[in-house]
Amino acid sequence: MAVIVALLIGFTSVFSAVVAWRASLASIESSRLQSLAVQEQARQQQLERQFEGSVAQDERMAVTYQEHVLGARELLAQADAVRQTNPEMADELDLEAHGRSALARALLPYISSSFLLELQDDGTLTYDREAALTFFRELNVELRELQPEQTSELAQQADTRTISLIAVAAVLVAALFFLTIAQVVRSRIRIQQAFALLGALFIAAGTVGFVFVEVLA
């Protein structure tokens, strides 16, 4: 019996060290993932501010585009009004209108979401701000790779695994306690056997718990 108790104590000591090591790794992983989740969320917010800025810039340029287009329309209307009475002035107005139209066309490549612009016949310019934000989000590869919620969930899982492994380690410490008593009371066989059995049961419980946490969970 003394040999068996000594072997169980040796096994439990090594096993508890392994469990403590795994708990330490899980704790480090949990901390790393929590930090990463915070960084990803901060970067996500930063990108959202960039998208807001891009949309605001497109809106400002869209107003300038609208002014040039409406200006060209007005100049053409003026040219048509004087074409019969003053063809030279009409030509000048046409030329100026073409210039304003060229400026409007030149602005379009610099408006990233220009496909969302719609200039009505009455001169009203419509621009879907939410659609533009969605466009910028979908276009950004980095944003698609940022998953702060998922990373935070993984951090929580690692934290839960850490707590579970600490609980397993506590069970093994209890097993060591009972086995140590069994080793001390060698003269009383029945008491020694009882404590050795308790120690063995706690070892079995710790082993099942460790397998569940590391393999099945």
Residues 99/109, Cβ–Cβ less than 8 Å: no
pLDDT for residue 216 is more than 80: no
Q: What is the pTM of this model?
A: 0.71
- Residue for token digits 């397998």? 211
* Helix 148-184 / helix 2-82 crossing angle, nearest 10 deg: 170
Cβ-Cβ contacts under 8 Å for 175 (sequence gap 6 or more): 8, 12, 198, 199, 200, 201, 202, 203, 206
Strand spans (E) along the chain: 117-119, 125-127
Strand spans (E) along 82-201: 117-119, 125-127
Instruction: Give the per-residue pLDDT at 217.
Output: 61
The amino acid sitting at 102 is A
Residue 63, classed as helix, strand or coil, is: helix
For residue 188, give the DSSP letter: -
Q: Please state the rounded mean pLDDT for residues 82-93.
A: 89
Instruction: Give the per-residue pLDDT at 120.
Output: 84
Sorting pLDDT into bands at 50, 70 and 90, what band is 4?
confident
Q: How many CB atoms lie within 10 A of CB 114?
A: 16
